[in-house]
Structure 1
Amino acid sequence: MTIELITFDLDDTLWDTAPVIASAEAVLRQWLTDNAPNLGGLPVEHLFSIREQVLREEPGLKHRISALRRRVLFRALQDAGYDQWQASGLADQAFETFLHARHQLEIFPEVQPTLEILANHFALGVVTNGNADVRRLGLADYFKFALCAEDIGIAKPDARLFHEALQRGGATAQTAVHIGDHPGDDIAGAQQAGLRAVWFNPTGKPWDADHAPDAEIRSLTELPGLLAGWHGQR
């Protein structure tokens, strides 16, 4: 095969996500304590309840996680007695506080050297369901495009997100490879769209889904050799 486009998942593929999200949530709670005292000790259960209500009213927000988080904060602030103008302003500031903290993450050390090698041979893109921004992380120069589910309201494993990535990358499914950690969202989603899929599995978990990935790697440093073996393969 001729490889023209390599697409990457972000969360838990280029960095560990759980620690940074936990930290960002803590930063958000402290900000709300300091700047929106009417909220008091807001129970997490109340936020979940608001989230479910918002999604019932606006199901289109399901894959627009930034807009959804803003809306939940806005509703919580209104419930705490802030008027619409105050709640809107505080929700925007609170979300930006969270988003800034969400980007204070540690990129795996092998990421940039690997991207540097691959970018010299292939077009690279991002396909993510999250709201991390490669521009904030100093990675944008490696990628031809970054496609977030939030941009079009469609999330992996929906094949349409991968089809959009192919269009933006100027490639066909037969000349594209996707790398990600999630068996459903990344591997099944990419394969259903016709791409080859590489499972990033650093901890060596057993594969327990129906259709096996086209390849499995423990480290991103394995990618250049793997792709070189595929490139030009008949």
Structure 2
Amino acid sequence: MKAVLFDLDGTLLNRDASVHAFIENQYDRLNNGLKHIPKETYCSRFIELDKRGYVWKDRVYKQLLTDFDLSALQWEDMLEDYISEFKHHCVPFNGLIEMLKELKSMKLPVGMITNGYGQFQMDNIEALGIKEFFDVIVVSEWEGMKKPSQEIFHSALERMNVASAESVFVGDHPDNDVYAAQQAGMKAIWKKDSEWDQVDADFIVKDLSEIPKIFYSLMKEAATSKSILHTE
């Protein structure tokens, strides 16, 4: 294996924790227009409508205005608040920086493929303090295509000048990350997510710290195979 690529949300960014932190803070900041709603009610409804990021927030805020009769607020202003403020609440998964440092110390090219809006995702990447570790970052809006399309994987691999068979993709979604990467010819590591019980991945990890260990094992296996071939 000569390269590793990552998903962002749910893999490197703890999106569930980030959303909780953001929406509670938004309730506090916009309290004049929201105080007639219990905080827990507002936050839980936002999270329900958000569907773990698969519904863009214009639809979420429009529905919130309907649900709670938020006559003092405009959905456009609430959406703008989300876009400008979410990055201040980004929560990384444990061991994120240490894991990336270790992969870079192994001289591995590191890439990212993430669905989402370009600048919004880049702001979150910057907020996590990880941009410098990536040789290539591909965001679906700017690419004009998104996972699970095989083309977006091939586009990233081409920029990294590495073959799909020599690459590993790490993600949390069984279809958009694991299966899609495998269909693109890559190995896939599933980062466990409580939403799914079992995923047919090449490797399964619970913590980011396990990922460098997989690469050490793969490199050792490759070196052993090469040694055997030379001996023969």
TM (norm. structure 1) is 0.68
Per-residue CA shift, 1:88-132, capped at 9, x if unaligned?
A: 5x35641334423442x1431x22122111113211011223554
Between stretches 117-126 and 93-102, larger displacement belongs to 93-102
Q: C-alpha separation between the residues in 1 aligned to 2:11 and 2:81?
A: 27
Relative to structure 1, is the Cα distance of residues 32 and 160 closer, same or farther in structure 2, using a 3 angstrom cutoff?
Answer: farther
The structure where helix makes up a greater share of residues is: 2
Between stretches 10-19 and 120-129, larger displacement belongs to 10-19
* Matching residue within 22, 25, 42 for 1:24: 22
Q: C-alpha separation between the residues in 2 aligned to 1:173 and 1:10?
A: 19
- Aligned partner of 2:136 in structure 1 is 145
CA contact (8 A) 2:192 2:205 kept: yes
Matched, 1:119 2:104: yes
How far is 1:157 from its partner? Answer: 1.9
How far is 1:72 from its partner? Answer: 6.1
Relative to structure 1, is the Cα distance of residues 192 and 39 closer, same or farther in structure 2, using a 3 angstrom cutoff?
Answer: farther
- Aligned partner of 1:129 in structure 2 is 115
* Matching residue within 168, 178, 190 for 1:177: 168
Per-residue CA shift, 1:52-106, capped at 9, x if unaligned?
A: xxxxxxxxxx98x7xx4257658988x9779xxx875x35641334423442x14
Alignment of 1:38-187 (within 5 A): 68-70=56-58, 73=61, 90-91=77-78, 93-103=80-90, 105-108=91-94, 110-120=95-105, 121-130=107-116, 132=121, 133-187=124-178
CA contact (8 A) 2:5 2:112 kept: yes
CA contact (8 A) 1:27 1:98 kept: no
Per-residue CA shift, 1:12-62, capped at 9, x if unaligned?
A: 32243212212212323444444xx499769859x96xx9xxxxxxxxxx9
Q: C-alpha separation between the residues in 2 aligned to 1:230 and 1:158?
A: 27
Which SS does the other structure have where 1:136 is aligned? helix
Relative to structure 1, is the Cα distance of residues 100 and 115 closer, same or farther in structure 2, using a 3 angstrom cutoff?
Answer: closer
- Aligned partner of 1:57 in structure 2 is none
How far is 1:195 from its partner? Answer: 0.6
CA contact (8 A) 1:38 1:81 kept: no
How far is 1:221 from its partner? Answer: 2.3
CA contact (8 A) 1:116 1:142 kept: yes
Relative to structure 1, is the Cα distance of residues 221 and 10 closer, same or farther in structure 2, using a 3 angstrom cutoff?
Answer: same
CA contact (8 A) 1:27 1:101 kept: no
Which SS does the other structure have where 1:220 is aligned? coil
Gaps of 5+ in 1: 52-61
CA contact (8 A) 1:127 1:148 kept: yes
CA contact (8 A) 2:93 2:208 kept: no
Gaps of 5+ in 2: 226-232
Q: C-alpha separation between the residues in 2 aligned to 1:158 and 1:39?
A: 43
TM (norm. structure 2) is 0.69
- Aligned partner of 1:201 in structure 2 is 192
How far is 1:137 from its partner? Answer: 1.4
How far is 1:144 from its partner? Answer: 0.9
Q: C-alpha separation between the residues in 1 aligned to 2:27 and 2:172?
A: 29
Relative to structure 1, is the Cα distance of residues 33 and 201 closer, same or farther in structure 2, using a 3 angstrom cutoff?
Answer: same
